[in-house]
Structure 1
Amino acid sequence: MRELARVLARGKRSEPQAYLRAYHAAGVLARSISWAPIPLWRLLQGFRSDKHMPGWHRYGHTYGALFRRFKYRRVKLLEIGIGGYKASLGGHSLLAWQAFFPRGTVVAADIVPKQALGGGRRRVRQLDQSSAEDLAELCRQEAPFDIIIDDGSHLSAHQIQTFEHLFGALRDGGVYVVEDVQTSFWPGRVGGSETEWDGAHITDPRFRQTCYGYFLELTKYLNHAEFVERRDLDARMLALAQDITRIAFEHNLIIVWKGENRYPSAFVGRDAAPAA
């Protein structure tokens, strides 16, 4: 395991074939330990995913609690974006998912062709998340899903479009996660990044157009049954909210739970309020 971790950690400094050999060996290891009750954060860290790594993110504890109920089910997890900018790089989180879900299927999609990282219960597709056609084709080929994780471009426009296209492909009771939403707060280039981020300051009216601003607005619609007036509503958000039971915000994460939310109000639309 140490040698596998060393090669995986070297990433772009490794020869492509050496990386792929180590990666597929790690896939065998992932399958062999998948029935063991190993905490998800340890698996993410052990397989060198930046989802839980010193100096990076701390998603592992949240994911461990969030996905615990799925562990021994025949779940189908979709991850958009799997790291690295070369065909022979990335995919660390896929190994962790494979090690955590012994009966699960992991589908990954990346703008870079990384089909060589597939194998076993891992399927890897090439996809541009800015393309509605690519997202629709993904749904036709692979839906439905129990868990969807967007770790793609981190551009708000892409995150919003991906959610609106893929949420319908999520099963009732499923979970949709948008990672790395810190970019919603980044206008332009930040921290030496070469990417021109489409974020905004929280007092800027344009913040509402960011991914974070979008989901803050969507939370209002979870109480759509209590709206006394139905004018000037966003029909798109109103439709989505009828299948959302909860939205949670954590540091750099947005989590959405899918389920029926069509129950009528106990008060609005009734002739008289119940007695106190």
Structure 2
Amino acid sequence: MWRLELCAAAAFALILTATAPAMAQERCRLASAEPGAYLTGLDRHGNPLTADDTAMRLIDLRVSDIAAAETLIARERPAFRRLADAQPDRWGRLPVQALLDDGRPLAHVLIDAGLARVDPGPGSDLCDPALLVREARARAARRGIWAEPANRPLSAHDPDALAARAGENVIVEGRVVSVGERARATYLDFSRRWRGGFTVIIPEEIWRDLLERGIDADYLSGRRIRVRGVMLDWRGPAIELAIAAFIEDLETGPSP
């Protein structure tokens, strides 16, 4: 089953990548490499450290096993490149991509090993949506953080277990029962109960983004998907979708 879901998620990631707005692709353009621009380690929050103490963050991911990731960075000393047109975030951090000597992105290595999870950070979209597929493979193989049951996906049809994780960043999987399009948001419900069931709240601008990529109510209704985000207490457990890429299709064909 998980092999089929990986194939479906991979195909969906390709759709998202191929249909990503030109503006997003431009936003992810890298600046020219700078001499001596290497990472030296990580701080206690998982942010990269450099020789000149410039505040930075790694794009597309959040380091989960800081000790193991720091050991890898200290050994490999990956070079980094800033995003060409990016401004510092609210914490003054510049977004960067790091590369190993053999050309592999550090993000690939950390995600593949289960040392980090996909997370573009507040107000950002993914530069590399295919990282979601790499993360799914690491999770299926129980690598790194994914060996811990608490980090694995939760069932969208177990509202009590979901409610117990309120305030946490989680991954949830399940079949969409209904889709409600409203003026300011679209709601994916995973239960026929008005209150108490799990709901995914999709803000208007993200719903427009999905529609532009060919993902509409008919496509999602009855489909098994994976979502991620902070668990809220709304009219039951809920996640407000942060970016379009945080909906992953877990099916290979039309829903039965």
Same fold (TM over 0.5): no
* Greater per-residue helix proportion: 1
**Which structure carries more relative contact order (alpha carbon 8 Å, separation 6+)?**
2
TM-score by length of 2: 0.31
Please, what TM-score do these two structures have when normalized by structure 1? 0.29
Name the one with the larger strand percent. Answer: 2
Specify the structure having the higher radius of gyration (Cα): 1
